[in-house]
Amino acid sequence: MLGFISTDDDALVSCLGDPQRTIAAYRELLRRGENALSAICAGLRDANPAVREGCCRFLDHLVDTESMGELITMADDPDARVRIAAFHALACDRCKGDTCAPGPDRVLEPALRHLISDPDPHVRAMAAELVGKFAHSDARAVAVLKASHANDPSPAVRKKAGWFTPGGTIYERNLPPTVR
C-alpha cells in the first residue's frame, strides 16, 4: 500500500522527513485523521525538523485540547520552519473543525516574544498574525504590533504588522460589532 514497507502511523510520520514520500504519507495520515493523532504528537519530538514541521501542519487540522500544549511548545523549536508551521497552526482558525483556538493566556506571550526578537523574518510574520488575533482585547498586542510596524527590519513584517494595528485593514475588518 502506497509503496511503503510499513504503513503504521509511526512509520508514516517518519516518512514526513523523506522528500520522496512526504506527500503520500501526509495524505494517508490526513485520511486517518484523529486515529493518527498520537503518532503525530510523538513526531513533534523527532530529531528531523521536516518531521516536526509536518506534524505541526497536521495539528493545524487535527489539534484538540490535549495536543494544543504540545503545539504551543513547538513555537520555540530551534528550526525556523517548525516555528513557522506552529505559529500558522496556532493562528489559523480556518482549518480547524470544532476545536476552539487557544486563548491569550496560552499563546500571546510566546507570540509577542517571537514577534519582537525572532531572528527569522518569516517567523516574525507568522507571530504577527497570532498577536493580531488579540489586538482588539490586549494593549500589549497593539503596542508590539505598532513597534513592529514601525521598526522591524523586514518590510514584509512591517506590512503584516500594520494590517493588525488600529487603522489597518484586518484590524478594521475584525472590529467587534459594538465598536463599529
pLDDT in tens, 65-97: 888 999 999 999 999 999 999 999 999 876 555
- Contact between 61 and 96 (Cβ < 8 Å): yes
pLDDT tens figures, 119-149: 999 999 999 999 999 999 999 999 999 999 9
Q: Which long-range contacts (CB under 8 A, 24 or more apart) does 173-179 make?
A: 174/136, 175/136, 176/136, 179/136
Q: What confidence tier does 176 reach under pLDDT thresholds 50, 70, 90?
A: confident
Report how far residue 102's alpha carbon sits from residue 69's, in angstroms, rounded to the nearest whole number.
Answer: 9
Indicate whether this model's pTM tops 0.75: yes
Q: Which three cell numbers stand for residue 127?
A: 507571530
Written as one letter, the residue type at 159 is K
